[in-house]
């Protein structure tokens, strides 16, 4: 297990290098001058040019990227162009808000997706199955930003029950969490149904039923545990996506998280913030995937034996 974890951590290095190069390239070749954004539109050209030289923006692209990597290896990701603060200070200040939103969103998705998927599989081709699959299809098809706007129009503008945005108490968590959890719940429902259908057709399930084991025990003790591995994969991936993919939701609800911070940094071409945030979220996503792989061993001992 230790060798497996160490190998996965080593594989993370080229992934982060590739992500950093791609993001650095995009930010470098998009229009906009960070020096002018810092000093303002009315700043003298000499002052702008002097700041560009000080920031190393006049260096060739590969030289700038090389300096960034060397500093990043030493733990220095630079300072924000707009606030002047260290970038990881900005990220760690906002990441708990994104984490809370992602956790509640994935909990909602699990509480809806797994039970509905199990019921759909055990009552295949019934009205319940058809209705849940249509709902799941709609959940996958609906963009987060559209669903968020519809929820704001109905619950905030129309009924006035919930706040339309911002961060101010538990009520402000409800609409963003539902927006994030709906799409994930739809995907988990479809995967749970497919996995359960595959398992309940196996010979050992038929044998258990032939021995007189109650249907509830057959589903809970025999079928569900063996159907959980692909479901765990989807749940882990969805949690990673919610951590890194809450950009639109945080923007719609003015949620002070990492996603909204990235949008603001892209608008102001604050390259250090964008780079550090993307690398941080990519690392978090990879760690979540590693944790999911390790969790397999506790669910299915056959998987654990492969780590040795």
- Tell me which residues of the chain have a pLDDT lower than 70: 1, 4, 40-41, 244-245, 296-308
pLDDT at residue number 298? 64
The kind and range of the H/E element at 61 are helix 61-73
What whole-number distance in Å separates Cα of residue 185 and Cα of residue 191?
10
**pLDDT, position 152:** 84
**DSSP sequence for 190-249:** HHHHHHHHHHHTSHHHHHHHHTT--HHHIIIIIIHHHHHHHHHHHHHHHHHHHHHS-HHH
pTM: 0.76
Domains and CATH numbers, the chain: 2-73 (no CATH), 94-300 (1.10.3720.10)
Report how far residue 28's alpha carbon sits from residue 16's, in angstroms, rounded to the nearest whole number.
Answer: 18
Distances (CA, A) of 285 to 73, 105, 267, 292, 297: 20, 16, 24, 11, 20
Q: How confident is the model at residue 301, as a pLDDT?
A: 57
Cβ contacts of residue 177 below 8 Å, gap of 6+? 101, 104, 105, 108
- 40-41-46-51 Cα dihedral, nearest 10 degrees: 40
d(CA 170, CA 176): 11
Say what the pLDDT of residue 302 is: 56
Tally of CB atoms within 10 A around 73: 8
Burial class (CB within 10 angstroms; exposed 0-12, middle 13-18, buried 19+) of 190: buried
């Amino acid at each position: 297990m230790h060798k497996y974890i160490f190998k996965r951590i080593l594989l993370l290095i080229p992934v982060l290098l590739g992500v950093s190069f791609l993001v650095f390239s995009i930010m470098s070749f998009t229009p906009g001058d960070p020096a002018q954004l810092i000093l303002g539109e009315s700043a003298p050209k000499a002052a702008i040019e002097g700041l560009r030289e000080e920031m190393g923006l006049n260096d060739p692209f590969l030289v700038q990227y090389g300096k960034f990597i060397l500093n990043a290896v030493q733990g220095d990701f630079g300072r924000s162009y707009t606030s002047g603060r260290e970038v990881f200070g900005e990220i760690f200040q906002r990441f708990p808000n994104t984490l809370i939103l992602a956790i509640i969103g994935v909990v909602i998705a699990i509480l809806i997706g797994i039970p509905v998927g199990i019921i759909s599989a055990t009552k295949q081709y019934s009205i319940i199955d058809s209705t849940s699959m249509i709902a799941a299809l709609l959940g996958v098809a609906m963009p987060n930003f559209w669903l968020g706007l519809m929820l704001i129009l109905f619950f905030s503008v129309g009924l006035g029950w919930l706040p339309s945005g911002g961060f101010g108490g538990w009520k402000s968590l409800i609409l963003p969490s539902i927006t994030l959890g709906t799409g994930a719940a739809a995907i988990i429902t479809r995967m749970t149904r497919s996995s359960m259908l595959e398992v309940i057709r196996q010979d050992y399930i038929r044998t258990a039923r032939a021995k007189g084991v109650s249907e509830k025990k057959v589903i809970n003790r025999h079928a569900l545990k063996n159907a959980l591995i692909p479901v765990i994969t989807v749940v882990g991936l969805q949690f990673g996506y919610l951590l890194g993919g809450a950009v639109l939701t945080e923007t719609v609800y003015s949620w002070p998280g990492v996603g909204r911070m990235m949008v603001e940094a892209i608008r102001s071409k604050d390259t250090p913030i964008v780079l550090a945030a993307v690398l941080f979220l990519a690392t978090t996503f990879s760690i979540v995937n590693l944790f999911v792989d390790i969790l397999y061993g506790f669910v299915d001992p056959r998987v654990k034996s492969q780590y040795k």
